[in-house]
Amino acid sequence: MRGSIMEKFDVVIIGAGPAGLGLAYDLKQAGQTVAVVEENRWGGTCPNRGCDPKKVLMAAVEAKLRSRHLVGKGLENEPEIDWPSLMRFKETFTEPVSSSSRQGLVDAGITVLDGHAEFVDQHTLKVGEQRVESSQFVIATGQRPGRLSKIENEALMQTSTDFLAMPELPKRIALVGGGYIAFELAAIANAAGAEVHVIHHNDRPLKQFPAKSVKQFMEQLTKQGVQFHLNIDVTAIEKSAEGMTLRDDHQFSLPVDQVFVTAGRVPNLDTLNLEQAGVETAKNGIMVDDHLKTTASNIYAMGDVVAKAQPKLTPVAGFEAQYLAQLLTHQSSAAIAYPVIPTVVYGVPQLAKAGMEVATAQKDSQRYEVKDLDLTNWFTYRRIQDPDARATVVVDRQSQQVVGVVTMSSEAEHVINDLTWLINHGGSLSELQRQIFAYPTEASDLEYLR
């Protein structure tokens, strides 16, 4: 149907990630005519080249390092990671995603459109040579790895997408940037046997977490072999027969085999021709109101492409998709209300947080109590020989409710979910003592958080 107007839809969703797919099925079930547009891999970043494959690789890292902690305490040897075998295992998860995601929509009677989307006007979208009309649009195009154009020869730098597809592991790796992705890829590559360097332009990597917690986290990774270079502003990469050399404008010089940029992600909005539809944007994404509506009355946005204070995570996008499903089918007209959202830096150990920032609580010490707890000798962590387990808990002095937490351990991903539930339900530490958990587990240990 080249150059012509296709059948008009009730809703067209641009982006086939977890949120876009979830919303499409809900709207179709409610009786609406729906189309989904995707120009890359169906299923989105998370299951194809993001959180899911990363977590698959982490399974080997966790097995290796947990075994290391128990050598001489029941185990004789620490296992080695076979990178090509691990990547083949990862591909059993990622390879089927795109085709199965697309086919699932087709089987449900949802129109699928392959190609790049650009707005012609507020009600018309161009997808390749096709034009699509719709009463409403939902933009869910996500983010992509950021680049560092100021670095000479920055094209030599690969991204997290490339890392997660490496058939062989380089001997020496540099990660330029100090956020979640840098720390997680560093943990994976280091455990797999590479020499790993993390380079950050100031002295505050993982700035979303308290400096004290980050310092403790970095100490554990340093003991494992990860090398950190802080206050280094890389300005050039030089290629040679032996590999690459990173330099700054002073004396820093680091030879490696491969360089990856891990300096954040940028929203996929710059090629959508949003100005033609009257959609306004900010540096960190598309601007929306408290109903996820853009500055165009019939266009909404959700997920990582949105400019928002909430973490840009897959479950947050899924939450927004559930909200829009209710809104666009007229089952609700309320503004979106986010719960407290946990975030985790994966590895061994893991660093996790939820709720009120520790720094915010410390500024109002009359209202909030900040408890720093060493958990290393608790049964759970002694049992697995976790070298350093810690938690910082923020408690409202008057209500005794837990309002914030930061925790570091090999079990942090589980503990943070338990405590996030407690925060969202207005619970106190004493309430934990009134629960009966499976014993002995990390949950049953929580009664000692007092």
The CATH number that applies at residue 358 is 3.30.390.30
Residues pairing with 79 in the sheet: none
Residue 182 marked ligand-binding:
yes
Q: Verify that 95 and 56 share a domain, yes or no.
A: yes
Q: Where are the beta strands (DSSP E) in 171-294?
A: 172-176, 195-199, 227-229, 236-240, 243-247, 253-256, 258-261, 265-267, 281-282, 285-286
Q: What angle do CA 292, 294, 297 make, to 5 degrees?
A: 105
Residue 260 marked ligand-binding:
no
Last residue of a domain, which of 263, 288, 309? 263
Residue 371 marked ligand-binding:
no
Residue 264 marked ligand-binding:
yes
How long, in residues, is the chain?
450
Q: Verify that 112 and 236 share a domain, yes or no.
A: no
Residue 319 lies in a domain: yes
Residue 258 lies in a domain: yes
Please give the helix or strand (H or E) that residue 355 lies within, else none: strand 350-355
Residue 225 marked ligand-binding:
no
What tens-digit pLDDT sequence spans the chain (450 residues)? 344 556 799 999 999 999 999 999 999 999 999 999 999 999 999 999 999 999 999 999 999 999 999 999 999 999 999 999 999 999 999 999 999 999 999 999 999 999 999 999 999 999 998 999 999 999 999 999 999 999 999 999 999 999 999 999 999 999 999 999 999 999 999 999 999 999 999 999 999 999 999 999 999 999 999 999 999 999 999 998 889 999 999 999 999 999 999 999 999 999 999 999 999 999 999 999 999 999 999 999 999 999 999 999 999 999 999 999 999 999 999 999 999 999 999 999 999 999 999 999 999 999 999 999 999 999 999 999 999 999 999 999 999 999 999 999 999 999 999 999 999 999 998 888 889 999 999 999 998 887
Q: Verify that 306 and 413 share a domain, yes or no.
A: no
Q: Verify that 108 and 194 share a domain, yes or no.
A: no
Residue 343 lies in a domain: no
Residue 209 marked ligand-binding:
no
CB 10 within 8 A of CB 34: yes
User: Cis before residue 96, ω within 30 degrees of 0?
Assistant: no
Residue 179 marked ligand-binding:
yes
Last residue of a domain, which of 227, 243, 263? 263
Q: Tokens for 77, please give them.
A: 């040897």
Residues pairing with 159 in the sheet: none
Question: How high is the pLDDT of residue 374?
Answer: 96
Q: Verify that 15 and 141 share a domain, yes or no.
A: yes
Last residue of a domain, which of 208, 237, 263? 263
Q: For residue 234, what is the domain's CATH number?
A: 3.50.50.60
Residue 304 marked ligand-binding:
yes
Work out how many domains the chain is built from and give that number.
Answer: 3
Residue 336 lies in a domain: no
Residues pairing with 244 in the sheet: 239, 256
Domain enclosing residue 308, as ranges: 7-145+266-329
Pairing status of strand 350-355 against strand 343-345: antiparallel
End-to-end CA distance of the chain: 67
Q: Verify that 72 and 14 share a domain, yes or no.
A: yes
Residue 342 lies in a domain: no
Q: Verify that 15 and 76 share a domain, yes or no.
A: yes
Q: Verify that 290 and 386 share a domain, yes or no.
A: no
Q: Verify that 37 and 128 share a domain, yes or no.
A: yes
- Cα distances from 321 to residues 99, 179, 286, in angstroms, run 22, 26, 16
Residue 408 lies in a domain: yes
Q: Verify that 14 and 132 share a domain, yes or no.
A: yes
Q: Verify that 16 and 129 share a domain, yes or no.
A: yes
Residue 337 lies in a domain: no
CB 365 within 8 A of CB 426: no
Q: Tokens for 69, please give them.
A: 């902690």
Residue 73 marked ligand-binding:
no
Residue 338 lies in a domain: no
Q: Verify that 110 and 224 share a domain, yes or no.
A: no
Strand order in the sheet with 227-229: 227-229, 195-199, 172-176, 258-261
Q: Tokens for 375, please give them.
A: 């958990």
